[in-house]
Amino acid sequence: MPDQEETRARIYQPWNETSRWAYLDPTVENIPLNEADKDLRPPSPRLPSGDFNVFIGISSFRDGARCGFTLFTAFSRATHPNRVRIGLVDQTQGDDALCIDEYCKLAEASEWKECKYKDNVRIDKRNSAESKGPTVIRWHQQQLIRDDDEFCLQIDAHSQFLQDWDTIMVKEWLRTENEMAVLTAYPMNYNFIGPDLTRPDHYSSHLCTYNKRGAAHDVPIIGGYKLIDDSEAPQMAALWGGCLSFSKCHAERRAGNDKRMNWVFWGEEYLRSMQLWTRGYDLYSPSRHGSVVFHNWSDDKGMKKRFSDNVTQVMTKEQHDLEERMAYNRLRLALALPLVGKEADVEDMEKYYGGRVRTVEQFLKFSGISNVDPTLDSPRCEQLRWVPYAVPEIIENFLPGYKMRSANSTAASLYQDIASVYAERIDSIEEQLNELLNISKQADQKDAVSEIRHELAKLATPRPEDATASLYAKRLGSIEEQLKEMLNNSWQADNTKALQAIQHELEKLAASRPEERQQFVKMEHQLNKLGQPETPMLLPLAVVWMALITVWLAYKSRRQSYASYSELPTQ
């Protein structure tokens, strides 16, 4: 009987000396790693009740013959060819063959005897000599999407479809159990197609490795595709491939390609991965059952042309180099990587890279890239797990009826977040109070400080039942009453150094927001009055009191920021 691991999906890892194979279990990929979040899930897929269109976006660069074949297999091998819509950006010059003409030749030579479905092709014909790279041209490609296009597929112009690809891809997308899923990979070469245009028995393509980077400013470049053995379900990934991307069209509408990314080729797919992921989309490679698009990786005896041939056709080399430097630094800014030089195009950065559902920092960690030390980069071929949304309200507003957390779990999460932000500072103040407790010589003074320490400790301990503002205020009110009692008892400390340490911690607490700093100045003025020689016993009490007020102000501000999340744009 075969070993259980040998029957599971797996990826070969030659770089890993301790574990040559990564064994995969996609049944857990939508379950967060964090134990506290284990019940959270992405939104379930939503399929229209009636018929729907599938849009195919293709940008062809002087590739008419191969592009025409791609269109022909898209229509002739679809289950519902009448529902297929193609948005074609055809970049040609001189006597280059047009993609639509090459398609019509194949269609007329087939059993159709006519250029069938020609009206389903939307064409943006452009001068290839003016092309500035894939990201810019894909912006034009996205402009061909219409409101009634439900699913969007992006492929290269030299691709081939298998029979019933449209229904198979929709079923494969549904198997992710995620409305925000994007099926993506580098499709396998034509030689992986089986007899009679069948899918491979054992293999599917997956993106999970990078080329080695020498410096933190080097942009991450995908290191080709890896083969998964015996993949039974879509496999979560950290990386997006431009040769194949299938999702709901709202992914294309909400995460627009950056038309200012001039001359960028290396690193553009990692950038697109970040764009989608920070807007709430999750990437999956199709399983062997859903692999129905294949790619011509050859240049067909020099037939393949490249946009880099245009460098001196429309501008000088110096102008090109400047545009390229500014665009690559724009890419680095978007990815929080160090710049090379000071020149960068920063226009409309928020429009293209303002995703707030998850953060760029979260994506760097999820995808295994360090923006400090490239030796810390790591492949992401092991089983990945779904990362809950940092700001779920954006997706909840976009998809009515979906709630990432229940009311109880939301309250618990909110309190946990508040506590994590302030716990470190509160703990530090507690330590200083402990020092005062140790030097205090009177029993009633010890009791008073002990009570305050106890209340501070409760504030720093996350408890779901304390997650509302009113209960939080009640806690602070309890401490305030104790401070008043201490004032009435004219308690004073013996150690000025300890008081100064507490004040330093309070300054750090108050430094995070302008409105808090303004309030801190007012309280500091009151503190100075209390610290005059005639009332020295009030100084330590005023300092501690100020700490509690500052924490409360910070909490209120953070609470307001949570309330405003639902007003954030989706772009």
Whether the predicted pLDDT of 89 surpasses 90: yes
Main-chain phi, psi angles of 84, to 5 degrees: -85, 130
Spatial contact of 263 and 327, defined as CB atoms under 8 Å apart? yes
Q: Output the DSSP codes for 110-134.
A: STT-S-TTGGGEEEEEEEGGG---H
Spatial contact of 163 and 194, defined as CB atoms under 8 Å apart? no
CA distance 443 to 451: 12
- Tokens 């507003």 belong to which residue? 397
Whether the predicted pLDDT of 479 surpasses 60: no
Whether the predicted pLDDT of 13 surpasses 70: yes
Confidence class of residue 307 from pLDDT cuts 50, 70 and 90? low
Task: For the full predicted model, state whether its pTM sits above 0.85.
Answer: no
Confidence class of residue 266 from pLDDT cuts 50, 70 and 90? confident
Confidence class of residue 430 from pLDDT cuts 50, 70 and 90? low
291: left (phi over 0), alpha (psi -120 to 50) or beta: beta
Indicate the angle between helix axes 317-334 and 268-278, nearest 10 degrees: 30
Which whole-number Å values give the CA distances from 468 to 407, 413, 471, 548, in the listed order?
Answer: 12, 11, 6, 17
Residues 6+ apart with CB under 8 A from 340: 217, 325, 328, 329, 332
Spatial contact of 420 and 389, defined as CB atoms under 8 Å apart? no
Domain boundaries, the chain: 54-302+357-398, 407-565
CA distance 376 to 430: 36
What's the one-letter identity of residue 166?
D
Give the residue from 135, 157, 128 showing the smallest Cα distance to 56.
157
* Most confident listed range (10-24, 60-74, 126-140, 343-357): 60-74
Homologous superfamily, domain 54-302+357-398: Spore Coat Polysaccharide Biosynthesis Protein SpsA; Chain A (3.90.550.10)
Confidence class of residue 532 from pLDDT cuts 50, 70 and 90? very low
CA distance 104 to 88: 14
Which whole-number Å values give the CA distances from 143 to 60, 87, 569, in the listed order?
Answer: 15, 9, 20
Average pLDDT value for the chain: 80
For 342-353, how does the pLDDT look when each residue is reduced to its tens digit (9 = 90+)? Answer: 888 888 888 888
pLDDT given at position 524: 46
DSSP state of 6: G
* Strand ranges of the sheet holding 21-23, from the earlier edge strand across to the other edge: 21-23, 10-12, 226-229, 203-206
Whether the predicted pLDDT of 329 surpasses 80: yes
For 43-71, how does the pLDDT look when each residue is reduced to its tens digit (9 = 90+)? Answer: 999 999 999 999 999 999 999 999 999 99
Main-chain phi, psi angles of 424, to 5 degrees: -60, -45
Share of the chain above pLDDT 70, in %: 67
CA distance 145 to 149: 7
Q: Mean pLDDT lowest for which of 6-15, 282-291, 299-308?
A: 299-308
β-strands 10-12, 21-23 pairing? antiparallel
